[in-house]
Amino acid sequence: MDIAGEVVLTLVACLVLAGLAVAFVWGWGRSPLLAGGVGGALLVFLVYGGRELLRPAKPGRRGRLAGAAATTLTVTVVFVVYASSCNCS
């Protein structure tokens, strides 16, 4: 069962990676400025999530946006780790 879970997670990560690559190429063909802006905004959001994960916690400080950014960063890291093991790149 553990091997099946690994295979499914790797397959999903590869499909997400391929979908993001196709979406970026399509977006770059339509509007390079918009595609670069969305990519930059996503990168800033991920950096914010990393900052919130590594920052010492203070009661009542973390909001919904910080939680969403930290969760997005965690899911992205898991997908990158699994996508790096597939032969689609």
pLDDT over 50 at 29, yes or no? yes
Which pLDDT tens digit goes with each residue over 9-20?
778 877 888 888
Identify how many contiguous H helices and E strands the chain contains and give both numbers: 3, 0
Q: Supply 61's token pair.
A: 């400080």
Label residue 62 left, alpha or beta by phi (over 0 means left) and psi (-120 to 50 means alpha): beta
d(CA 83, CA 78): 8
Question: Would you place residue 86 in the very low, low, confident or very high pLDDT band (cuts 50, 70, 90)?
Answer: low
Q: Supply 83's token pair.
A: 């996508």
pLDDT value of position 60 = 66
